[in-house]
Amino acid sequence: MNHRPPAAAAPLLLALALLGAGCSGGVEGTPGAVGVRDPYFPGLGNGGYDVTHYGLELDVDPAADRLRGTATITARATQDLSAFHLDLAGLDVESATVEGKPAAVNRAGKELTIRPGGAVEGRLRKGRTFTTVVRYSGAPQAITDPDGSKEGWLRTADGAVALGEPTGSMAWFPGNHHPSDKATYDIEVTVPDPLTAVSNGQLVSRSTAGGRTSYHWRTAEPMASYLATVAVGRFTTQQSRTPDGIRLFTAVDPESAAASKDVLARIPDVLAWSAEKFGPYPFTSAGAIVERTGDSTYALETQNRPVFPGPPDTALLVHELAHQWFGNSVTPATWRDMWLNEGFATYAEWLWAADHEGVPVQESFDEAYEDDANWAFPPADPPTAVELSDAPVYGRGAMVVHRLRLAIADDKAFFALVRGWTKAHRHGNASTDDFTAYVEQETGQDLTGLWDAWLYGESRPPEEG
């Protein structure tokens, strides 16, 4: 699910040079950066502003393979801006405004350059909150990652599903598509009857007119764009609440309904068990989207309701719901920190197996330790974006968590540490350095040897010691 870092394109450099030259003559500030220099995706995301809210209005016609969208993006300037960038792949931009005034739009590949005009020109001062509206349309596309997997806008047997990790969200809306820029969302999707449109958060309203139905979904807690989703299809839906008051919404393809029923019924139990281990559930809604087998090839922890490529088993449900704490609430600062997502979610599977299936965590650790695939590279330093979703990020990442538990040598203290971590970075971003510093500060231990051997070491360390 990963791209190779894109090379800088000559047309983009030329466009930026011309833009910079055009920023004189009364226009104050400088253009925001192209990309945020992520270790694996340096062109992903944009500098100079912080998005606080996305309002997306989407009209989807799967039969015609057509999407029309209006993105209303509220952001705060983090520098004096003469221009700024948005990530968008494939779709055609019809118009853009900044603070209600027409803005110039230049395009170079997946980069849009927006230059405010009219009375707004030169006035995007540092600290100012401003609104950009982009109208766009076209046939949204899937993005092929270096490892051969597909993300972006994926067509299904009866509609489509949008999956964004790590860069696919730019296939269906313009934005600042790096996980370090989280925002709240309102997503309104209009689809032809009898299709249903499911997204993140809570269903605010539903209205039907002229054979088309609009579904308005709201995500009130911050969300990284790679966790945003839209699923369009013929779904059987169900709404309820957990004993703790968490709103549940599940949407299941009818072909997957019977085989999914028993596992999905365990969502309240899994959430309650996870809260005991990891701290209070960080969101107000939860659930799942289950496609028919073959519509997609992998599960993804889309915020509030993970997407499953067919009926999930309990272990996969536990894994994806654990991501609501690790990855969705505590989001990686860069894609190099992805082991913090996958290592903890894999460790959640080991913990569940110990508590519910009689499989000791040490047995799961030993099995992972003997798997040569987990030793291809250090989990905190994948060689390239191609390996970002490979075994060491998951299995060896979970081994790091267990070695930490053994080093603390007190289960009560270990789980208090984990709950403290999710509380300290709730709805924020965190890096590997943040994690190791937090652990050493809270435990008072120098764990350099553990990090060097298990987190960054090139070779398999002795299991004992």
29-83 tens-digit pLDDT: 899 999 999 999 999 999 999 999 999 999 999 999 999 999 999 999 999 999 9
Q: How far apart are CA 438 and CA 442, in angstroms?
A: 6
pLDDT at 464: 78
pLDDT < 70: residue spans in the chain: 1-27, 118-122, 465
Give residue 144's pLDDT: 86
Contact 339, 39 (CB under 8 A): no
**The pLDDT of residue 17:** 37
Q: At what angle do helices 411-424 and 432-443 cross, to 10 degrees?
A: 130
DSSP category for residue 204: E
pLDDT value at position 136? Answer: 98
The label of the residue with tokens 């997306």 reads: 56
pLDDT in the model for residue 2? 35
Determine the pLDDT at residue 24.
38
